[in-house]
Amino acid sequence: MDEHLNELISDLKTYLEYLKGMGIDSLPISKNFLERPNPSDLLTLQRIRKELGDCKRCKLHRTRRTIVFGEGNERAALMFIGEGPGYDEDVQGRPFVGKAGQLLTKIIQSIQLQREEVYITNIIKCRPPQNRNPEPDEIETCTPFLMKQIQAIQPKIICALGTFSAQTLLKTNAKITTLRGKVYDLEGIQVIPTYHPAFLLRNPDKKKEVWEDMKKIQQFMSQIERTYPEGKDSR
């Protein structure tokens, strides 16, 4: 019996290593893998947005103009997560549309992708007054919605833009300078932290590091394309 079990474990290990070699390093968790999810239980961005509603869960609702939910490909393999909306985003209701956003668009294009192919959102969905840093209670209130967005999209890679994004996703207080340059695992999703585009606008000498991070993302993306040749965003 023990021998049989050991053999089974060894076979399973080999199979998981084979999947890993194919770029698949997580398996869907299901109580019963024969059970198909009920379509009405499916987490969609539309449903998450509806649940968020005219959110008044934290104090930011008093000063915001618009909730900036996020935009892009609902089936994106790559997600960019920033900190929170700024002035332009608050006015337009879209993430990363100001100066930092224009730089983010160029960064995305530098790895031969378009904004529409990825999904872009923020840790918090409402602009803090005077663009101050998000406060812990605001992050805590908003993060469940971000987590649901991630669950719905099921990206393979998340690029965390800046300190707040990286710290929130990786549940750490480490600085972005310490966090960047490495790849982290978030339940099977590769998280690549990099400098925030707004920081890059003030410190253009840091572009080299961001370019290194982008090259890493590009490499992962080409692995995904090899595993799923029918399309970048398919799974």
**Interface residues toward ligand URA, by CB under 6 A:** 82-86, 89, 95-96, 98, 100-101, 122, 198
The distance of Cα 104 from the centroid of its chain, to the nearest Å, equals: 14
Dist CA 95 CA 89 (whole Å) = 5
Q: How far is the CB of 196 from ligand URA (least distance, A)?
A: 6
Q: How far is the CB of 198 from ligand URA (least distance, A)?
A: 6
Q: Which is nearer to ligand URA, 133 or 234 (CB)?
A: 133
Q: How far is the CB of 157 from ligand URA (least distance, A)?
A: 18
Q: Which is nearer to ligand URA, 98 or 155 (CB)?
A: 98
Q: How far is the CB of 155 from ligand URA (least distance, A)?
A: 17
Q: Which is nearer to ligand URA, 72 or 95 (CB)?
A: 95
Q: Provide Rg for the chain, Cα atoms.
A: 19
Q: Which is nearer to ligand URA, 134 or 155 (CB)?
A: 134
Q: How far is the CB of 174 from ligand URA (least distance, A)?
A: 19
Q: Which is nearer to ligand URA, 160 or 189 (CB)?
A: 160
* DSSP bridge partners of 160: 81, 193
Q: Which is nearer to ligand URA, 83 or 117 (CB)?
A: 83
What distance, in Å, lies between the first and last C-alpha atoms of the chain? 37
Q: Which is nearer to ligand URA, 122 or 190 (CB)?
A: 122
Residue nearest to ligand URA (CB): 82
Q: How far is the CB of 82 from ligand URA (least distance, A)?
A: 3
DSSP the chain: -HHHHHHHHHHHHHHHHHHHHTT-------SSTTPPPPGGG---HHHHHHHH-S--SSGGGGT-SS----EE-TT-SEEEEES---HHHHHHT-SS-SHHHHHHHHHHHHTT--GGGSEEEESSSSPPGGGPPPPHHHHHHHHHHHHHHHHHH--SEEEEESHHHHHHHHT----HHHHTTS-EEETTEEEEEE--HHHHHH-GGGHHHHHHHHHHHHHHHHHHHHHSTT-TT--
Q: How far is the CB of 66 from ligand URA (least distance, A)?
A: 11
